[in-house]
Chain A
Amino acid sequence: MTTLAQRPISILIAALGGEGGGVLADWVVTAAVGEGFPAQSTSIPGVAQRTGATTYYVEIFPTKLAALGARRPILALTPNPGNIDLMVASELIEAGRAMQNGYVSPDRTTLVASTHRVYATSEKMHMGDGRFEDSRIVRAAARLANKSVLADMNRTAQASGSVINAVLFGAMAGSGAFPLPRSACEAAIRARGKAVEANLRGFAAGHDLAAGTSEELAPISAKRAWRTTPQARLRGAFPAETHRILEEGVSRLVDYQDAAYAELYLDRLEPVLGLDSADDDWRLTAETGRHLALWMSYEDVIRVADLKTRSSRFARVRAEVGAKPDEPIAVVEYLKPGLDEICAVLPPVPARALRTLVTRLGLADRLNIGMHVKTSAVFGFAVLRSLAALRSWRRRSSRYIEEQNRIEAWLGEIRRVAAHDRAAALEIAECARLIKGYGDTHRRGWENFRRIFATLIEGCVPEARLLAVAREAALADPEGDTLARTLTELTAAPDKSAANLAPPVESRLARAGE
């Protein structure tokens, strides 16, 4: 009689609702039963499966029923920490969760996980960047797993025209920790009879992944390459450390307005450079340059119309929505210009006049006209194209003048503070990050920026630390409650930034904002 296994092989599958984790568990059990092994699986479906994190737990007893006679192993319904042989996760954070729950142990666990990210709501809804640091999970996996198969199996699935659970199944089978032969797994896929060919392709791809690379880490989606168009003046006047950002800034502004505008950009940066030093790689210049370029290329109707009517854009859209070359696509834009957008392109005087009139009529908020512009059709395209053509007119627009004032005020403070404390000046530069978006979003961002400016910066030598705290607070909630609370706390605190506060009314910035 064959010797009996000491204990079952325990497999925990962590997936997201709707990813087919249930099907994967069924495949595993079917394969095990097919091989004549006692197997059991449990899960916690129901409402837990509505997009949330869910798990499936399978135990396989690696001695054939035939050899067991009347005896039956007692198989557990819940996974135990330190007791998992094969931990499978369909996404990186879920692999992290598994480790957090103690399901990955060095002496025993093989970890099979996809390194792609499906961001959690808490990460997505953050006003800045709320993403969990992926590298922490990868590092932890290297420490905790006995063996690991880490790869972007989502990409593998797409490449093989399959689904992720099939790829995971293949990776499990190829991981070496799985007690069943490849043939049994493939038989299980066939037995289920759904999308057999696609699933077998995915399985094969996953199997190769596991057999080949065991530590391939998916590159965190690479950013667009930095451009390096030779830009004489920049190269001459600014240190190399700053080129990466400043060159991007220059070309951004040429693209946004014209060469002269880019010259203005450099004119504005030179004095900052004068106050900066090589000790910290000219960071003040570089970061000011980053935010200045973004601020100077503020998003107005002209800019949006321009971006939406570029030949490069249609190619991008086609790719994004996965349209085949022969498939015509209609592209519809959701635009809702209102009073602000109209006034923005008018010169200051008529803009002010229109605003007062409309406000008197009480139409200020009701003027927004929802438009569905079909940029794939000639007329719609022509409309946006002609709006884009207003670029040459931009310098006369009220928004342009307003933004330039605001920019100068901001730069002024950076220069003033840089003379005493470069770190604080850098923080002031960083504050520009708060100003983004359109309509209410932009107004709110500007308000936060202005409050921080008036409370912590103007008329005093601010503390870098406090500015950082305030900036984080501004990104904590859209209502600005956290910022308000933080500012009162900071100003209440007995430190010098609180000692000599300038009342917002006298604020140059505030005036610039009117």
Chain B
Amino acid sequence: MERSFKEEVRSLRLGEGETFHGEGILAVTKALLQSGVSYIGGYQGAPVSHLIDVLTDARDILDGLGVHFESCANEAGAAAMLGASINYPLRGAVTWKSTVGTNVASDALSNVASAGVRGGALIVIGEDYGEGASIIQERSHAFAMKSQIWLVDPRPDLPTIVRMVEKSFELSEASHTPVMLELRIRACHLFGSFTTRQNRAPQLSRKRTIAEPDFDFGRICLPPATYAQERHKVEVRWPAAVKFVREHGLNEVFEGRLAEIGVIVQGGMYNTVVRALQQLGLADAFGAGDVPIYVLNVTYPLVPDEVAEFCADKRAVLVVEEGQPAYLEEAINAILRKADIDTRLVGKEVLPMAGEYTGEVVLTGVARFLEGSAPAGIDLVKISETFEGNTRPKRIAAELLGAAVPARPPGFCVGCPERPVFSAMKIVERDVGRLHVSADIGCHTFSTLPPFNIGNTVLGYGLGLASSSGLAPNFSKRVVSIMGDGGFWHNGLVTGVANAVFNRDDGILIIMKNGYTSATGQQNIPSSGKNLRDEPTDMRIDAAVKALGVKWLRTIRSYSVATMARTLREALKSKEPGLKVIIADGECQLARQRRERPLVAKQLAAGERVVRTRFGVDDDVCTGDHSCIRLSGCPSLTIKTNPDPLRTDPVATVNTGCVGCGLCGEVAHAAVLCPSFYRAEIVQNPNWWDRLVERARRAIIARLAGGDRRSATT
């Protein structure tokens, strides 16, 4: 795992009335234990990976409470875990990244939602929308509506988040419906504090197991039960949920002086709205302000009476709802219409329809709303001046900078084992021409960015190969598909490989075997060799692929660029029909460094002989064309001002970040680049033999060595 949570885990033990300091997602984890869950599952993915990581480190606490935890094969598996709560009063929680994870989970979700639950079922989703998101931009809201799962969107401060987790279980049980708790990226990584309660051991658990199975045809998803379930949703569960939300005051109203206007906001957007009001001088540091605010900590279902009450005596109300479609705005409009309330509802006309609602966006929207609604008792001139003042620096900066500063998207780490594969591909493309590459989800998706720009489509996690099946038969050259080992086990094994073999598809699949789901923080997967409990697993990608009937299979060390290029050419030209699989084998460098650095440090301290490898560039041999960089993009292979006074273009240089992965040399060879690269092996704590040889060599070489002839004159 990329990050150890041994420290944070201690805060999961906190008892009654103590203070928890930590990240939002850890607070959620603590809240789960305070709610007496019997089981927890999920699939890693930012921003909720930490929930899984921390529980992995918290095994003994879970064992103590009798809580079962497992990291699932994929989100569908995680959602299916909720089946435990259908027949039995077991509280359970699962987590994943949304919307992609929810897409994968949706089959099981529909069924759980239809059958209904006895035990509280909570789905913690990381809403990966906006800055820092690594996926397609969609809202999870639609899933809640279509399957009738309640959607909780808590105000982003830890006490509220924790309370909402606890209340969600009660809501779920009161309405026999699973509940989604949505946390945006920043809320997940929000560092704050809250007062803890004692962890609750579940009524039924691995310690106190269920005696008798429960059979109730009404809970089975098969007609005619499904018809009854569909009616039960709207006739019983929905009203029960609305009643619960209202009676327990899950939504909040903050009164304000300007009673003729108001703001209805998703819980998650509350702080941003308050900040906008503070900047415009309409709220104090504690949120107490002039504008009444109705906070929807539960965004589905809405509570029509609450909405009507809030809007009734207002001229205009602003709805702050991130993303599209504008479900809330439309629903609220409908509620007002039915209640015959003629309050003017303002929303997407002053706020953007799509995209993250950052502070700047909301500030602009609120300012425009105020100008439009012009309530009595505020100084519009002052407001527009404040607004102007806040946005002016941006315009000045644009003038002074002249051009936009270079973008810096994420990319492959120093020494990443996936980079060389794309170097090889780019070299091959030089003589076979551009290839169509179906990319996949994972760090390897960075191949689509400069300097490689390799990868024509991305269809979803583990779907690299599947997304070639329609194109390959219609393409002149063989289509290349990429898949990470994470995606392979997530679903690529079946959706991709089995499908391709079954349909006798001809194509090339490159599987990046770096040992973990690296992009999400190096969680173990079947082929890691160990599960999250550190128990050995003997599951191999090559064996699995062979078992499915793949004949053409090569495993290549990913740093061997030349061999990789040769193998790829072979696969492209080969007469052999059917799927050709190349496993690019190289461990995630982050994981490797994390494992090896401490060891090396120990050896050095103990005075043991350690050889350190570094690459370098002779700046007088480099001519500053940067071909090597266009074939690598390694952060540690960079440029510096040319020390040669006659040359103006910068030369390549290797900075101290180099981990000596060897790619530079491999590329220089494979691409027949230039002779300016060298590899240096530095012997730390040399023994007497090293010293002797070194001394001898230096003596002889000193005699042979050439000097600088520049002192000569004409």
B410 at the interface (CB under 8 A from A): yes
Which single member of A73, A227, A433 contacts B710 (CB below 8 Å)?
A: A227
Per-residue CB proximity of A287-303 to B under 8 Å, as 1/0?
00010011000010000
**When chains A and B are docked, how far (Å) is the Cα of A54 from the Cα of B616?**
28
Which residues of B from 527 to 547 have beta carbons under 8 Å from A? Answer: none
Chain B: minimal CB distance from A480 (Å): 13
A26, A48, A266, A381 pick with most chain B CB within 10 angstroms: A48
Tell whether A100 pairs with B627 under 8 Å between CB atoms, given A7-B278, A45-B189, A310-B706: no
Contacts of B627 in A (CB 8 A): 437, 440-441, 478
Residues of A near B271 (CB, < 8 A) are 74-77
User: CB < 8 Å: which of A18, A44, A293, A317 contacts B678?
Assistant: A317
**A81, B394: Cβ atoms closer than 8 Å:** yes
CB-CB under 8 A from B189, the residues of chain A are: 42-45
Say whether B681 contacts A332, CB under 8 Å: yes
**Inside 8 A of A78's CB, which chain B residues have their CB?**
186, 272, 358-359
Chain B: minimal CB distance from A81 (Å): 5
Closest to A68 in B: B286
Q: How far is the CB of A350 from chain B (nearest CB, A)?
A: 23
Tell me the smallest distance from the CB of B115 to a CB of chain A, in Å: 34
CB of A474, distance to nearest CB on chain B (Å) = 12
Distance of A243 from chain B, by nearest CB (Å)? 12
The answer to whether B691 has its CB under 8 Å from any CB of chain A is yes
* Most A Cβ at <10 Å: residue of B403, B407, B626: B626
B:653-678 near A, CB below 8 Å:
654, 656, 665, 668-669, 671-675, 677-678
Task: Judge whether B578 is part of the interface by a CB distance below 8 angstroms.
Answer: no
Chain A CB within 8 A of B206 CB: no
Whether the pair A8, B285 counts as a contact (CB closer than 8 A) is yes
Smallest distance from the beta carbon of A472 to chain B beta carbons, Å?
Answer: 13
Q: Min CB distance, B381 to chain A, in Å?
A: 18
Of the candidates B186, B275, B649, B694, the one whose C-beta lies within 8 Å of that of A74 is B275
State whether A139 and B400 are in contact (beta carbons under 8 Å apart), knowing that A51-B411, A332-B681, A338-B672 are contacts in the complex. Answer: yes
Do A50 and B411 form a contact, CB below 8 Å, given A45-B46, A335-B675?
A: yes
B643 touches A223 (CB 8 A): yes
Are A322 and B656 closer than 8 Å at their CB atoms? yes
Which residues of B sit under 8 angstroms from A279, Cβ to Cβ?
A: none
Q: Would B686 and A5 count as touching, CB distance under 8 A?
A: no
Chain B residues within 8 Å of A378, by CB: 697, 700-701
Stretch from B78-86, B465-473, B634-642 contacting the other chain? B634-642
CB proximity of B284 to chain A, nearest CB, Å: 8
Interface flags for A308-340 (1: CB within 8 Å of B; 0: not) read 111111100100111110111111111110100
Determine how close the nearest CB of chain B comes to the CB of A221; give it in whole angstroms. 5
A58 and B299 CA atoms in complex are apart in Å by: 28
* Interface pair B624/A436, CB less than 8 Å apart: yes
* In the assembled complex, B401 has its CB within 8 A of some CB on chain A: yes
* B192 and A40 form a contact (CB under 8 A): yes
Digitize A130-146: 1 where CB-to-B-CB distance is under 8 Å, 0 elsewhere.
01110011011001100
CB distance from B430 to the nearest CB of A (A): 8
Q: Which of A113-121, A268-276, A461-469, A499-507 contacts B (4 or more CB under 8 A)?
A: A113-121
CA distance in complex: A335, B278 (Å): 65
B711 touches A229 (CB 8 A): yes
Within 8 A of B (CB), among A92-106: 93-94, 96-97, 99-106
A5, A120, A330: the one within 8 Å of B408 (CB): A120
Instruction: List the B side residues contacting A132 at CB < 8 Å.
Output: 403, 405-406
**Does the CB pair A100–B680 fall under 8 Å?**
no
* Interface presence of A181 (CB below 8 A): no
Note all chain B residues with C-beta closer than 8 A to A104.
393, 397
Range class of the B interface residue count: 35 or more
User: Contact: B360 with A100, CB < 8 Å?
Assistant: no
Of A53, A306, A329, A334, the residue contacting B677 (CB under 8 A) is A334
Nearest chain B CB to A24's CB is how many angstroms away? 13
Most buried by A among B49, B413, B630, B682: B682
CA–CA, A336 to B279, complex, Å?
64
Contact of B639 among A4, A26, A123, A231 (CB under 8 A): A123
Q: In the bound complex, how far is the Cα of B665 from the Cα of A72, in angstroms?
A: 58
Of A129, A231, A445, the contact of B650 (CB 8 Å cutoff): A129
Residues A18 and B411 in contact in the complex (CB < 8 Å), given A124-B639, A332-B679, A438-B675: no
Q: How far, in angstroms, from A246 to B410 measured CA to CA in the complex?
A: 44
Which of A42, A49, A128 meets B649, CB within 8 Å? A128
Chain A residue nearest in CB terms to B677: A334
Known: A74-B287, A254-B709. A131 touches B394 (CB 8 A): no
Find out whether the CB atom of B401 lies under 8 angstroms from the CB atom of A328.
no
Query: Complex formed: what's the CA distance from A304 to B413 in Å?
Result: 31
Interface membership of B187, Cβ < 8 A:
yes
Given contacts A29-B191, A232-B714, contact A76 B359 (CB under 8 A): yes
How far apart are B220's CB and chain A's nearest CB, in angstroms? Answer: 39
A42-B186 contact in complex given A230-B713, A254-B714, A329-B682, C-beta closer than 8 Å:
yes
B132 touches A (CB below 8 Å): yes
Using CB atoms, name the residue of chain B closest to A25: B191
Query: CB within 8 Å of B: which of A377-401?
Result: 377-378, 381-382, 385, 388
Partner-binding segment picked from B58-66, B231-239, B443-451, B491-499? B443-451
Given contacts A50-B519, A144-B397, contact A220 B405 (CB under 8 A): no
Say yes or no for B391: interface residue by CB 8 A criterion. yes
Known: A83-B359, A317-B680. A438 touches B673 (CB 8 A): yes
Check if B410 sits within 8 Å of A327, measured CB to CB. no
Q: Are A334 and B678 in contact (CB under 8 A)?
A: yes
Q: Is B432 an interface residue (CB 8 A)?
A: no
Report the interface size for chain A: residues with CB under 8 A from the other chain.
Answer: 154
Determine the residue in chain B with the shortest Cβ distance to A72: B286
Q: In whole angstroms, how far apart are the Cα atoms of A147 and B643 in the complex?
A: 34
B400 in contact with A144 (CB, 8 Å): yes
Task: Tell whether A42 pairs with B190 under 8 Å between CB atoms, given A139-B400, A438-B675, A441-B673.
Answer: yes
Q: Of A42, A45, A382, A437, which is within 8 A of B625 by CB?
A: A437
Contact A251 B678 (CB under 8 A): no
Tell me if A360 counts as interface (CB < 8 A to partner B).
Answer: no
Please measure, in the bound complex, the distance between the C-alpha atom of A97 and the C-alpha atom of B404, giving whole angstroms: 8
Q: Are B401 and A311 in contact (CB under 8 A)?
A: no
A311 contacts B393, C-beta separation under 8 Å: no
**Which B residues from 689 to 714 make CB contacts under 8 A with A?**
690-691, 693-694, 697, 700-702, 704-714
| Smallest CB separation, B469 vs chain A (Å) | 27
Q: Which of chain B's residues 254-294 have a Cβ closer than 8 Å to chain A? A: 270-272, 274-276, 278-279, 283-287
CB distance A309 to B410 under 8 Å? Answer: no
Verify if B620 is at the interface (C-beta below 8 Å from A).
Answer: yes
Interface contact A129-B649, CB-CB below 8 Å: yes
CB of A79 closer than 8 Å to a CB of B: yes
Smallest CB–CB gap between B564 and chain A, Å?
Answer: 15
Q: How far is the CA of A139 from the CA of B397 in the complex (A)?
A: 10
Q: By the criterion CB–CB under 8 Å, are B406 and A143 in contact?
A: no
- Contact: A125 with B646, CB < 8 Å? no
Q: Are B398 and A310 in contact (CB under 8 A)?
A: no
Interface presence of B131 (CB below 8 A): yes
Is A88 an interface residue when CB atoms closer than 8 A count as contact? no
A17 contacts B by Cβ under 8 Å = yes
- Are the CB atoms of A249 and B646 closer together than 8 Å? yes
Query: Is the pair B681, A330 in contact by a Cβ cutoff of 8 Å?
Result: yes
Interfacial chain A residues near B712, Cβ < 8 Å? 251, 254-255, 259
Query: What are 23 A-B interface contacts by the 8 Å CB criterion?
Result: A40-B192, A50-B412, A50-B519, A61-B285, A74-B287, A77-B190, A78-B359, A81-B359, A105-B393, A119-B639, A123-B406, A124-B637, A125-B633, A127-B625, A224-B645, A232-B713, A314-B705, A328-B683, A332-B679, A332-B680, A436-B623, A436-B624, A441-B673
> Contacts A125-B451, A254-B713 given; 13 further ones with Cβ under 8 A?
A18-B413, A47-B46, A48-B134, A74-B157, A77-B271, A82-B390, A100-B405, A104-B397, A224-B643, A321-B680, A327-B682, A328-B686, A334-B678
Pairs A-B, 9 closest by C-beta atoms = A46-B46, A82-B390, A44-B132, A102-B394, A52-B410, A80-B359, A328-B694, A140-B400, A436-B623
